[in-house]
Amino acid sequence: MKTNNLMKSTAAIGMIFLITLSSAAQTKRLDAKSDPDDEFKTLIEGYYTAWSSLNLDKAARYYAKDADLIFYDIAPLKYNDWAEYRAGVQKGFFDVIPSGKLTPNLNDLKVTRRGNIA
């Protein structure tokens, strides 16, 4: 049962990561001298560290809090705002697992930019 919950948690966090990465790529501009891979590696490492802390206050910095935003996850599939999503993650994941660690495989990262979208 614990393994099943951990697998669900990992899948959900992976989905969250993809949505967050997409959002961050659209809003953050790169310095002309910086390597896009380096910037995203730093972003991803921080994101994984925040979620691995099992502290939603640390993970929250990677998310927009606009009242009209919808968040999607494993169960339930849809959350109507950040507060609802935060409460669902706390109850469905963090209250269930005593510890966990996400480790990104940064060697697989490839970044391509087109204007202000990466």
Domain, as residue range, for 26:
2-99
Dist. CA 95–CA 38, nearest whole Å: 34
Find out whether 68 and 38 touch, Cβ atoms under 8 Å.
no
User: How does residue 17 score in pLDDT terms, banded at 50, 70 and 90?
Assistant: low
pLDDT score for 59: 92
**Residue 109 counted as domain residue:** no
pLDDT score for 30: 45
End-to-end CA distance of the chain: 38
**Residue 47 counted as domain residue:** yes
Cα torsion for 37, 38, 41, 47, to the nearest 10°?
-120
Residue-wise pLDDT for 44-66, tens only, equals: 899 999 999 999 999 999 999 99
pTM: 0.60
Find out whether 20 and 89 touch, Cβ atoms under 8 Å.
no
pLDDT score for 34: 62
Specify the number of domains making up the chain: 1
Residue 100 in this model has a pLDDT that exceeds 60: yes
Residue 108 neighbours by CB distance under 10 Å: 6
**Residue 108 counted as domain residue:** no
**Residue 112 counted as domain residue:** no
